[in-house]
Amino acid sequence: GRRLLATRHHLDAARLTEAGWRERWEAGRWFLQADGESGKPYGNETIRVTPDGEVSIKLPKPLAAHANSGHGRYVLAARVSFPHRATEWADRVEVNRAVAYRIHRDTVRGRWYLTAAWTFPVTRTIPLAAALAEGVIGVDTNADHLAAWRLDPHGNPIGSPRRFFYDLSGTADHRDAQVRHALTRLLNWARSCGVKAIAVEDLDFTAEKTREKHGRRK
């Protein structure tokens, strides 16, 4: 960019040789970038990164003869990982939400890097009074289930309480799947009730005031 161009006239101050400067200048133009597309496999058709880190590039027709995989794609030998915000990235690619990628070379470190970026849609909010106009689902979290009860706008229970069970034993993936399944059933029930709000108890873990620690028998 402009900063590197200005450095060309001050090589000594930048501690660069002309060859070193030119290498950086040319490397600055060695990059590949592709915006993501929601709905496409893993959120990007041009630069595709699978959850296990495999990177493949969709080659343009003039370069299709160089493809080493199906559908005109070139799979890189190296795999990638994202130590920063890896969970957020994985959550997006697993449901094919848009992720933009940029492949570029760092001449100082002598390495190629792949960076990922994404944006979040603006969250719509409504006034609290409007959210509670049709009542609310009150949720109590427990060791093995979510206890839920529909309440009218005045806080009075309607109908019978519901329980959405989950099993937190086993692997982390199993536990995550169990919690997601319970939450999905809770949301579906809330939607069928016509309510627009769900209220969850505040366990205040920082103060260690959970029922398990300060229950009747403690």
Query: Distance between CA 79 and CA 189 in Å, rounded?
Result: 42
Query: Could you read off the pLDDT of 75-97 as tens digits, one per residue?
Result: 999 999 998 999 999 999 999 99
Q: Please give the residue that has the higher pLDDT: either 217 or 190.
A: 190
Split into its structural domains, the chain has a count of: 2
In a domain, 199, yes or no: yes
What is the average pLDDT across 48-55?
A: 96
In a domain, 122, yes or no: no
Residues in the chain: 218
**Lowest-pLDDT choice from 34-43, 62-71, 126-135:** 126-135
Average pLDDT along the chain = 84
Query: Distance between CA 198 and CA 131 in Å, rounded?
Result: 9
Question: At residue 17, does pLDDT exceed 80?
Answer: no
pLDDT of residue 125: 81
Helix H or strand E encompassing 54? strand 54-58
Q: Please give the residue that has the higher pLDDT: either 133 or 2.
A: 133
Looking at the fold, whether 100 and 140 belong to one and the same domain comes out as no
Asked if 92 and 43 count as a contact pair (C-beta separation under 8 A), the reply is: yes
Q: Which residues, in sequence order, are bridge partners of residue 114?
A: 103
Query: Could you read off the pLDDT of 138-150 as tens digits, one per residue?
Result: 999 999 999 999 9
Query: Distance between CA 28 and CA 31 in Å, rounded?
Result: 7
Domain termination site, one of 55, 90, 117:
117
Asked if 49 and 96 count as a contact pair (C-beta separation under 8 A), the reply is: no
Range of the domain at 105: 2-117
Looking at the fold, whether 55 and 150 belong to one and the same domain comes out as no
Looking at the fold, whether 32 and 96 belong to one and the same domain comes out as yes
pLDDT of residue 190: 94
What is the average pLDDT across 15-35?
A: 71
In a domain, 158, yes or no: yes
Looking at the fold, whether 83 and 13 belong to one and the same domain comes out as yes
Looking at the fold, whether 43 and 76 belong to one and the same domain comes out as yes
Asked if 104 and 31 count as a contact pair (C-beta separation under 8 A), the reply is: yes
